[in-house]
Amino acid sequence: MKVLVPVKRVIDYNVKVRVKSDQSGVDLANVKMSMNPFDEISVEEAVRLKEKGAVEEIVVVSIGPQQAQETLRTALAMGADRGILIKTDDNVEPLAVAKILEKVIGEESPELVILGKQAIDDDSNQTGQMLAALLDWPQGTFASEVILEDGKINVTREIDGGLQTLSLQTPAIVTTDLRLNEPRYASLPNIMKAKKKPIDEKSPGDYGVDTAARLSVVKVTEPPVREAGEKVEDVSELVTKLKAKGAI
C-alpha cells in the first residue's frame, strides 16, 4: 500500500503570534516556522503503519514557498520515503489545496491519504473533506485510532456522544486528531539520511489549478485581554460576587 501525507508549514505552536500594525494579517518576519502539529501526527501514523508492514511507501507533499522544503525534510527524517514540493508564494485556500492534491493523487495512485484535520494557522478544517468529495472517496475524520485489517481501514473517531468506528474501503481519506499518537523526534542519523531522499519540485500551474484567492481578509485583531481573577475565601463569597456581577 502507498500512503500520501500532505504537510503544511505553519508558525510554530510555541510562538506567540503578533498581529501586524495595520491589522492586515499576522506578522511572519523572523518567526520560527515548523510542521503543522496535526500533520506531524499524520506522518507518524503513516510511519507506524509502515513499521507494521501494512505500508510500502510514504509520499509527503507540501504546497508553499521554497522554505516548505524544510518541512518535507522533517517528514522524511521521521520515516517518509520521498517528497513533493508544489512551490508557490501565494496563500493557497483549502479548496485550491484539495484540487491540487486531487491531481497529485491522480499521478501517485495512493490507496490511503492521511492528513491533519486542520492547520493551526487558519483552523479551516476543510481540506480533507473537500478532497474526499472531489475524489468521491470514503472518509474518516478526527481519527483517534486507525487499524488496517482484511483490506479495510477501521477508523475510530471522536464525536460529541463518544466514539464512533467506521469501516472504510480503500482508497480512502483519513484526517487525524490529537489523540491518535505522539509523533517521534527524528534522530540525527535519520536527519542525515533525509538529506539524500528525493524531493520533486512542481508548481500549481503544472496541475492546471488556479490558486487565486476567493476570500479576502477584512481585518485581523488580537483577542481581548482577559481580566485578572479574584481569590475568594469560600463558596458563599463566590456566590455573592457572582450575584454582584450579574453572573447568576
Average pLDDT per run of 10 along the chain, which is 248 residues long? 96 89 86 94 96 95 95 96 94 94 96 95 94 96 92 90 92 95 92 94 93 88 84 90 81
Alpha helices for the chain (secondary structure H): 37-51, 68-78, 94-108, 127-135, 188-194, 235-244
71-86 pLDDT tens trace: 999 999 999 999 999 9
Task: Tell me what pLDDT residue 151 has.
Answer: 81
Sign of torsion over alpha carbons 147, 151, 152, 153: positive
Res 130: pLDDT: 97
The rounded mean pLDDT for the chain is: 92
Domains delineated in the chain: 2-244 (3.40.50.620)
Query: What's the pLDDT tens digit per position in 91-100?
Result: 899 999 999 9
Nearest one of 79, 45, 56, 5 to 147, comparing CA atoms: 45
Residue 112 · residue 128 · CB < 8 Å = no
- Cβ within 8 Å of residue 158, ≥6 positions away: 142, 144, 164, 177, 179
Question: How distant is the alpha carbon of residue 139 from its chain centre?
Answer: 15
pTM of the model: 0.86
The residue with cell 519540485 is: 201
pLDDT of residue 164: 94
